[in-house]
Amino acid sequence: MNVVLLSGFEFLTNEAIASIGLNPYFKWAKFVLTDDDVNLNKQKVPVDEFDNLISTGIFTPIKMDFGKISDGHTSAEKKPIGVITNIKKDVIDDRNVLIALAALWKKERPEDVDLLKEMIDEGNPPQVSWEISYHNSTIADSGEEILHGTILTGVAIVANPAYRDRTKFLAIAAVNESESEKWTVEYINDLPDSAFLYIEPGGEKDEEGKTVPRRLRHLPYRDKENKIDLEHLRNAIVRLSQENTGKDWLTDDLREKLLSKARALLKSYNKEEKSEMELEQALEKIANLEAFIDELKRKNDELEAELLSLREYKNQVEAEKQAEARIAQIKQMFTERGLEKSDAYFEENRELFLGLTDPAIEFMIQELVAFSEKSEVKRAATSSLPNINDFSEDFNYKDIKLLAQALKKISK
């Protein structure tokens, strides 16, 4: 059901936005449309029906009796004072609610709009009661009727709503006063013909190429720079959706043509705006990725430096281990050849030993062994004394001549 309803409103954004105030004859009213609690009529709109009310509620009328607030709907029927332009979900006092925004027709019903404003200023905000059609309903165990397949057909400003003070006005005021002041009669009259959605036939062109009389030009939507003014374009759609607009010049066929044109312009504008947003998002994403890449490069450089340091430390440790193993091997080679050297000896000659190959070490050991053997022979030849046991007990050691002869004999 909703799909069928929405198919005719493809020009609307997800927010279902329409113009709400740049027209100087508009004031806007913000009010609670409904909540998801049971009302005095023992009816309840569940929160899962809110989307239906949003999709069907845009451009529906808000009604009010002339010159007063009536008790119920009957007196307000067929007496619109404005149109709903926006509905959104919210939460108030822990209740799920729908907040509506309506454009009130200050020009058509100035006294009644002023009455509503006075009520709010006096702390007695107006209250509303919805008009809803629904496909079916179910009765809950507690007795209330739960509505399903809802369609919002209108809203009435009444004195005794079924929701008491839960569906009341929250604010009423002119919107974008500074913008409205910019779009004065003089400003609009000074716009080129291309700034208007429609120009009645029968006029003439002045020296600037603008249609005179100016009253033949309707629904301005571009500014002096020929740029689309989004709020005025939305405002044109709202005005064209009102039955009392252009009674003296707007036929039903022309209304549909102008609505189609305005909706196409809005759709194109939204598409361009979306493209610009997507471009900005893409550029922002690129910038973020570039920053991320720079950060990764910085961290990579830090890790590379740390890795280099660890590799140097590892190489140093391995070199030390290899050096210790080499010194131990050399010590073993010395020991196997009967050369006993102290640890201090090897430490003092550490760099020398580490720089020699095995053949060089072997040659060194051989030389040391040979030198050691020669030294032993020399020491034996120069320091050996005759064995006392070789001489008789009556050998006279004090006889120098006899001692010399004995040494010669031993040396031979």
Dihedral sign for Cα atoms in the order 144, 146, 152, 153: negative
Are 40 and 127 within 8 A, CB to CB?
Answer: no
**Same domain, yes or no, for 107 and 239?**
no
**Same domain, yes or no, for 147 and 215?**
no
**Same domain, yes or no, for 114 and 209?**
no
Domain boundary among 217, 250, 283: 250
**Same domain, yes or no, for 46 and 169?**
yes
In a domain, 163, yes or no: yes
pLDDT for 12 equals 39
**Same domain, yes or no, for 31 and 172?**
yes
In a domain, 40, yes or no: yes
In a domain, 291, yes or no: no
Q: What is the pLDDT along the chain (412 residues), one digit of tens a residue?
A: 333 333 333 333 333 344 444 566 778 889 999 999 999 999 999 999 999 999 999 889 999 999 889 988 898 888 999 999 889 999 988 889 999 999 898 878 888 888 888 777 656 789 999 999 999 999 999 999 999 999 999 999 999 999 988 999 988 876 444 454 567 778 888 999 999 999 999 999 999 999 999 989 999 999 999 888 887 888 788 778 877 778 788 899 999 999 999 999 888 887 766 665 555 666 677 878 778 888 888 889 989 898 989 999 999 999 999 999 999 999 898 898 888 888 898 888 888 888 888 888 888 888 778 777 776 666 555 544 444 445 455 544 445 455 455 544 544 4
**Same domain, yes or no, for 197 and 131?**
no
In a domain, 100, yes or no: yes
Distances, alpha carbon 361 to alpha carbons 134, 214, 334, 340, 365, in Å? 107, 116, 9, 15, 6
Q: Which domain holds residue 368?
A: 356-411
**Same domain, yes or no, for 143 and 27?**
yes
**Same domain, yes or no, for 226 and 129?**
no
Domain boundary among 122, 157, 176: 176
pLDDT for 11 equals 38
**Same domain, yes or no, for 191 and 64?**
no
**Same domain, yes or no, for 162 and 124?**
yes
In a domain, 244, yes or no: yes
Domain boundary among 216, 250, 284: 250
Give the closest residue to 261 by CA, choosing from 211, 222, 215: 222
pLDDT for 315 equals 92
State the Cα–Cα distance between residues 228 and 238, nearest whole angstrom: 16
Give the closest residue to 84 by CA, choosing from 115, 64, 54: 54
pLDDT for 384 equals 46
State the Cα–Cα distance between residues 259 and 310, nearest whole angstrom: 74
pLDDT for 234 equals 82
State the Cα–Cα distance between residues 52 and 130, nearest whole angstrom: 14
State the Cα–Cα distance between residues 404 and 411, nearest whole angstrom: 11
pLDDT for 409 equals 54
In a domain, 124, yes or no: yes
Domains in the chain, number? 3
